[in-house]
Amino acid sequence: MSSPERRTDSAGAFLWPILILGVAVLLALIVMACGVEPRAAFAALASGAAGSSIAWGQTLASMAVLCFSGLAIALSFRAGIFNIGAEGQFVVGAIAAAAVGTKLLPEALPWPLGVSVLLAVGAAAGAGWSAVAGAMKRWRGVSEVIATLMLNLIALILLHFTVSYPYLLRDPGTIESKGSSLPACAALPGWGGTGFHAGVFLTLPAALVLWAIVYHTRAGLSLRAAGLNPVAAQACGIPVERVRMRVFALSGALAGLGGALALMAAGRLTKSLYPDYGYMAIAVALAANLHPLLVLPSALIFALLETGSKAMERSAGIPSEVVYLIEGLVILALLSRGLRLPGSRAAAGTAAEAGGEA
């Protein structure tokens, strides 16, 4: 005879498929309310995401940006740090790389060296920007959520400012808010006129390296211990505050690296360089259960959804507000995979763990 705990666990296992079915029906009703046949709308979604080489190129380029920002979020959340600042760290990394690339980088520099310099500059700028929030938390007790959100706003204002004046980063030959073009030594090779770029090939090594650090090194054990129970970790001799400062810097470096890649793929700095991808990366990391190796497929799913939604708006004539609603519903469905019904063993274990941390 089955126990109540086993029955509630089984019921929880069926919750996610039922929820997905409900979301699919709701999406169809929303599309029909817009006067569009659902099959045509979702065909446009699939075609826009992966129906051609151009679609795949844009999807993979978006995946690369989401992957680096998602790794940054996954790392910081794993350490118990609610870093909401990947957007600002990404932007600052792009600004710093643009400044060095257009003002300091020699044209005659070999291509591998030029790309490496800008990647290092972007990572260093993102790390420094994130470390500001870490320092505020450690020495002034400021919540990292508030600090990183405010730093996001400052970074976006800084981006608009730097591309608005010719004596800063704006291209003197245009009246639009666009930065000067990067030299050839800092350009990422593309793929047949699509948005695909060579930076996509860096995503898998980055995920593998971070996975090895988090799960197969002493530093990674300290990081996970600090995230699970900082009081117990401190009692075991782990310098929790020092570990968290390192995580602030490393997560910022990952987001800044993504900003430098996006800049080199675009060839110049603009105000709309992957807007709001830093916030979407939070959903990417949560859907991946904060596991570095799962961030890559999670980023691909969200990139497919993002590019496909834009194509659906263009091809099927669905208003952008409805597209955002559809995207949000799909994201909520993805994030609900780990739900358990009250009374299940998983829910009881989570509650006990939370009580232990308190």
Task: Show the CA angle centred on residue 153, arms to residues 148 and 155, nearest 5°.
Answer: 90
* pLDDT-based confidence at residue 328 (cuts at 50, 70, 90): confident
Give CA angle at 132 (126, 135), nearest 5°. Answer: 135
Question: Which pLDDT value is given to residue 15?
Answer: 66
pTM: 0.86
What integer pLDDT is reported at residue 354 of this predicted model? 37
pLDDT tens per residue across span 23-42 = 777 777 877 877 777 888 77
Instruction: Give the rounded percent of residues in the chain with a pLDDT score beyond 70.
Output: 86
5 confidence band (pLDDT: 50, 70, 90): very low
User: What are the extents of the domains in the chain?
Assistant: 1-36+318-358, 53-309
Query: Tokens 């920002």 map to which residue?
Result: 69
Specify which residues 170 forms β-bridges with.
179
Residue among 219, 255, 233, 244 at smallest CA distance from 133? 244
Q: Which amino acid is at 80?
A: G
Report how far residue 207's alpha carbon sits from residue 296's, in angstroms, rounded to the nearest whole number. Answer: 7
> What percent of the chain shows pLDDT beyond 90?
49
Q: What is the mean pLDDT of residues 147-162?
A: 94
Burial per residue of 291-318, b for 16 or more beta-carbon CB atoms within 10 angstroms, e otherwise: bbebbbebbbbbbbbbbbbbbbbebbeb
**Is 353 strand, coil or helix?**
helix
Q: Which amino acid is at 83?
A: N
Strand partners, 270: 178
What the block records as the tokens of 7 is 């029955």
**Torsion sign, CA atoms 186, 189, 194, 195:** negative
352: pLDDT strictly greater than 80: no
Is the pLDDT assigned to residue 266 strictly greater than 90? no
Specify the CATH number of the domain 53-309: 1.10.3470
Give pLDDT, residue 347.
42
Q: What is the distance of C-alpha 114 from the center of its chain? A: 25
